[in-house]
């Protein structure tokens, strides 16, 4: 750190403080983790300086032999870990992985037939009229994804994201009574809407998805099934999700981040069936800039770690801990979306404490418990204030906490929420943003959080 401090002390101090904060607080953000020292060290090195546009063995720059090695090793580990026939490890993030996948599907399903029809090999060889027709055909495509308030992700066709502008989008959701994914409604929507792509996967759904069933629906309407397993990739890698709940054998194409439950460096990845491989490998330069070789090196290391028996044990403990956390909260009277969990995350409906998600998130943060606010299905408070708080166990499980400690964590969360009241604005009217929490309670919980 002294090397950094000599150049910019404020950054050195921020790095040091980040380590202290991550050690002293309870990291319950469901999408965060602690990467291993081997993964972190593989990322901080001279690979960062190298340009390597293209793919393994076919680069637009000279001197990429060592990048070829790390990209090939990362892809090999990914294929073998997940049992996938093809892996593309270049995406810089989960959003980028999804963009690569969308274009791969569009290229295979819309662009390639258009080129064949026009009897040319490349879009540059199309006439202006054929090009205009192709652009219209690309722009006419539809995507069916899980609704945001049911736990879907912005990249699954929503307006604030490019996916919502590339595709005409419709959502499927959960049953209002049970909170569970409604497969009949999904089937009906697919038959009526006729999407090119059905996206399954989520950021905030606390149950399992039956991918075999979703594939069946995709087959009925001739759609491509894309699964975004960003959140639960670690559970797939650790063989906690198998059979109908393992997306790899059922999806045409699977995307993921590498930094959530998979515990790798920040980044993304695409796995696909052979017929999409060529299009996926065109991700750079189609939608990605030069790859990040230092991050691919770290992906290779993290994926090697994920192939060990210890990682399988870790993945199972994530779910055991999540269930223990849910039970601890339920036994103290909390209300959970779907009434519990089958995966790594729990969604607390904090309206039963009389709070918005934003108030609950802030009160927990005051107490050393780091979470994020999240919509609940049919949320009356919208996506900014929300009525929920999402918590997840991948990070605390990495720190070695078990089910007994999860009960303590549940107690700390409940104690904070029970002792928090909504605040008022400066004008004295009720506020959805501010909260009132006794400082002594916050300090007591923060002390317990640091001890854990």
Least separation in angstroms between CB 151 and ligand PLP? 9
Residue nearest to ligand PLP according to CB distances in the complex: 94
Question: Is 314 an annotated catalytic residue?
Answer: no
Least separation in angstroms between CB 372 and ligand PLP? 10
Least separation in angstroms between CB 270 and ligand PLP? 12
Q: Which of 50, 79, 187, 266 is catalytic?
A: 266
Q: Which CB atom, from 94 or from 357, has the smaller least distance to ligand PLP?
A: 94
Strands, sheet with 168-172, edge to edge from the N-terminal-most edge strand: 86-88, 268-272, 253-257, 224-228, 197-201, 142-146, 168-172
Least separation in angstroms between CB 152 and ligand PLP? 8
Q: Which CB atom, from 268 or from 377, has the smaller least distance to ligand PLP?
A: 268
Q: Is 368 annotated to bind ligand?
A: no
Q: Which of 71, 96, 149, 228 is catalytic?
A: 228
Q: Which CB atom, from 31 or from 419, has the smaller least distance to ligand PLP?
A: 31
Burial class (CB in 10 A: 0-12, 13-18, 19+), 234: buried
Contact (CB, 8 A) for 274 and 236: no
From CA 197, how far away is CA 162, in angstroms rounded? 15
Hey, what are 243's tokens? 């059979």
Binding site for ligand PLP (CB under 6 A): 31, 93-95, 153, 155, 201, 203, 228, 230-231, 257, 268
From CA 31, how far away is CA 93, in angstroms rounded? 13
Least separation in angstroms between CB 257 and ligand PLP? 4
Q: Is 154 annotated to bind ligand?
A: yes
Question: Is 266 an annotated catalytic residue?
Answer: yes
Q: Is 152 annotated to bind ligand?
A: yes
Q: Which CB atom, from 126 or from 230, has the smaller least distance to ligand PLP?
A: 230
- How many Cβ atoms from other residues are within 10 Å of residue 168's Cβ? 16
Q: Is 153 annotated to bind ligand?
A: yes
Q: Which of 5, 34, 50, 51 is catalytic?
A: 51
From CA 99, how far away is CA 219, in angstroms rounded? 23
Q: Which CB atom, from 95 or from 306, has the smaller least distance to ligand PLP?
A: 95
Question: Is 312 an annotated catalytic residue?
Answer: no
β-pairing verdict for 369-370 and 168-172:
unpaired
Question: Is 420 an annotated catalytic residue?
Answer: no
Question: Hunting for tokens 């980028």 — which residue is that?
Answer: 96
Q: Which of 5, 32, 53, 434 is catalytic?
A: 53
Least separation in angstroms between CB 235 and ligand PLP? 13
Question: Is 51 an annotated catalytic residue?
Answer: yes
Question: Is 440 an annotated catalytic residue?
Answer: no
* Residue numbering of the annotated binding site for (6S)-5,6,7,8-tetrahydrofolate: 148, 152-154
Task: Tell me the binding residues.
Answer: 148, 152-154
Known catalytic residues are 51, 53, 228, 257, 260, 266
């Amino acid at each position: 750190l002294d090397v950094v401090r000599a150049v910019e002390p404020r950054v050195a101090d921020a790095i040091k403080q980040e380590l202290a904060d991550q050690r002293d607080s309870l990291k319950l953000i469901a999408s965060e983790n602690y990467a291993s020292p081997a993964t972190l060290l593989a990322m901080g090195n001279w690979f960062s300086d190298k340009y390597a546009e293209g793919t393994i063995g076919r680069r637009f720059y000279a001197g990429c032999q060592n990048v070829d090695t790390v990209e090939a090793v990362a892809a090999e580990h990914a294929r073998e870990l997940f049992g996938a026939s093809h892996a593309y490890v270049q995406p810089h993030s989960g959003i980028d992985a999804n963009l690569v996948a969308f274009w791969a599907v569009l290229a295979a399903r819309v662009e390639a037939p258009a080129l064949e029809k026009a009897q040319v090999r490349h879009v540059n060889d199309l006439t202006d009229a054929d090009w205009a027709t192709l652009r219209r055909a690309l722009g006419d495509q539809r995507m069916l994804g899980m609704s945001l308030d049911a736990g879907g992700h912005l990249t699954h066709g929503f307006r604030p994201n490019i996916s919502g502008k590339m595709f005409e989008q419709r959502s499927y959701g959960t049953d209002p009574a049970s909170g569970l994914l409604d497969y009949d409604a999904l089937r009906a929507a697919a038959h009526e809407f006729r999407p090119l792509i059905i996206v399954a996967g989520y950021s905030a759904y606390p149950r399992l998805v039956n991918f075999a069933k979703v594939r069946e629906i995709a087959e009925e309407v001739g759609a491509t099934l894309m699964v975004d397993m960003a959140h639960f990739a670690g559970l797939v890698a650790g063989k906690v999700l198998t059979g109908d709940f393992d997306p790899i054998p059922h999806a045409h194409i699977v995307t993921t981040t590498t930094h959530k439950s998979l515990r790798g460096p920040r980044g993304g990845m695409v796995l696909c069936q052979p017929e999409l491989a060529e299009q996926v490998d065109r991700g750079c330069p189609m939608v990605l800039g030069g790859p990040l070789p230092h991050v691919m090196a770290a992906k290779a290391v993290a994926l090697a770690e994920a192939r060990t028996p210890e990682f399988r044990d870790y993945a199972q403990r994530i779910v055991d801990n999540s269930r223990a956390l849910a039970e601890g909260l339920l036994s103290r009277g909390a209300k959970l979306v779907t009434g519990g969990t089958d995966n790594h995350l729990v969604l607390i409906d904090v309206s039963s404490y009389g709070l918005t998600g934003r108030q609950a998130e802030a009160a927990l943060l005051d107490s050393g418990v780091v979470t994020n606010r999240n919509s609940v299905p049919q949320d009356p408070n919208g996506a900014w204030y929300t009525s929920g708080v999402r918590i997840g166990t991948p990070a605390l499980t990495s720190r070695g906490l078990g089910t007994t400690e999860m009960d303590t964590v549940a107690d700390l969360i409940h104690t904070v929420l029970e002792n928090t009241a909504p605040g008022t604005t400066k004008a004295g009217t009720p506020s959805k943003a501010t909260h009132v929490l006794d400082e002594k309670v916050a300090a007591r919980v923060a002390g317990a959080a640091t001890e854990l």
